[in-house]
């Protein structure tokens, strides 16, 4: 089997072990370490987490699980997407927030679901107007686009304030709608400065 050349010996050993031992998912880190001749369980933990980022493993309620033995498709490459803070977004959309990149996060292209990297980025949610769907501190994957469907959550700049909302239409008027019922729906006045930056594609919960 030809593995991705970026894998080290321990990562390859883990893939081989989980491939041959379908019941290995129930073993402790110490037991796995002994099976693949690694001195420390922490090394196994670190390597498994690295393999998750690379797209080989997932972790669920049952523990770590091998989902593929080999990665050759570019769609599974690891890329670094920028995270923009809400406070720095400005009123011109991504063209402005691009100047204020705070950090980056490693994700697979399979996770983001698109090869359009130039128009894909994260923002960090602030506040509780979109709870329980989106909570304070969640990372929100945005695809930059002006069009949206009525059921989409959008990243919109309204009168220089960047917001995550739904845009709904009623009686010929447009409104910014929150999920949290304790927040009022806000009418978009024709004289307001309103720009849809993009559409919410995924939410990474703040644990």
Q: Note the pLDDT tens digit of each residue in 33-56.
A: 999 999 999 999 888 888 877 767
Query: Based on the domain organization, do 81 and 57 belong to the same domain?
Result: no
Query: Based on the domain organization, do 99 and 194 belong to the same domain?
Result: yes
144-152: long-range contacts at Cβ-Cβ below 8 A with a sequence spacing of 24 or more?
144/93, 144/94, 144/119, 144/120, 144/197, 144/198, 145/119, 145/196, 145/198, 145/199, 146/196, 147/196, 148/196, 148/199, 152/199, 152/200
Query: Based on the domain organization, do 24 and 60 belong to the same domain?
Result: yes
- Give the lowest-confidence range in 18-32, 58-72, 119-133, 145-159: 58-72
Query: Based on the domain organization, do 99 and 48 belong to the same domain?
Result: no
In this predicted model, what pLDDT tens digit does every residue of 93-115 receive, in sequence order?
A: 444 444 455 577 788 777 777 76
Whether 45 contacts 78, CB under 8 Å: no
Query: Based on the domain organization, do 55 and 79 belong to the same domain?
Result: no
- Give the lowest-confidence range in 3-12, 115-124, 192-201: 3-12
Say which residue the tokens 């970026």 belong to: 6
Model pTM?
A: 0.59
Residue 77 pLDDT grade (very low, low, confident, very high; cuts 50, 70, 90):
low
Query: Based on the domain organization, do 79 and 59 belong to the same domain?
Result: no
- Domain span at residue 190 reads 75-204
In this predicted model, what pLDDT tens digit does every residue of 12-34 receive, in sequence order?
A: 999 889 888 765 556 788 999 99
Query: Based on the domain organization, do 14 and 107 belong to the same domain?
Result: no
Q: Is the pLDDT of residue 74 over 60?
A: no
Query: Based on the domain organization, do 19 and 62 belong to the same domain?
Result: yes
Distance (Å, rounded) from C-alpha 94 to C-alpha 157?
10
Q: Exposed, middle or buried: residue 1 (CB in 10 Å: 0-12, 13-18, 19+)?
A: exposed
Query: Based on the domain organization, do 134 and 42 belong to the same domain?
Result: no
Mean pLDDT score of the chain? 79
Distance (Å, rounded) from C-alpha 53 to C-alpha 137?
21
In this prediction, residues 149-175 reach a mean pLDDT of: 91
Say which residue the tokens 């309620």 belong to: 61
pLDDT at 118: 77
Q: Under DSSP, is residue 60 helix (H, G, I), strand (E, B) or coil?
A: strand
């Amino acid at each position: 089997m030809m593995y991705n050349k970026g894998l080290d010996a321990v990562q390859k050993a883990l893939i081989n072990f989980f491939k041959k031992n379908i019941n290995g998912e129930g073993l402790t880190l110490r037991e796995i370490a002994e099976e693949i001749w690694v001195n420390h369980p922490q090394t196994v933990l670190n390597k498994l987490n690295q393999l998750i980022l690379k797209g080989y493993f997932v972790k669920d309620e049952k523990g770590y699980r091998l989902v593929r033995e080999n990665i050759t498709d570019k769609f599974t490459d690891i890329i670094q997407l920028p995270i923009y803070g809400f406070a720095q977004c400005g009123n011109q959309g991504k063209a402005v927030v691009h100047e204020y990149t705070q950090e980056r996060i490693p994700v697979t292209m399979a996770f983001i679901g698109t090869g359009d990297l130039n128009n894909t980025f994260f923002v960090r949610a602030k506040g509780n107007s979109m709870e329980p769907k989106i909570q304070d501190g969640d990372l929100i994957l945005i695809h930059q686009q002006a069009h949206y469907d009525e059921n989409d959550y959008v990243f919109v700049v309204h009168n220089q304030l960047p917001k995550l909302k739904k845009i709904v239409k009623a009686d010929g008027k447009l409104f910014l709608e929150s999920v949290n019922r304790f927040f009022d729906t806000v009418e978009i006045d024709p004289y307001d400065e309103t720009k849809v930056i993009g559409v919410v594609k995924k939410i990474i919960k703040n644990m």
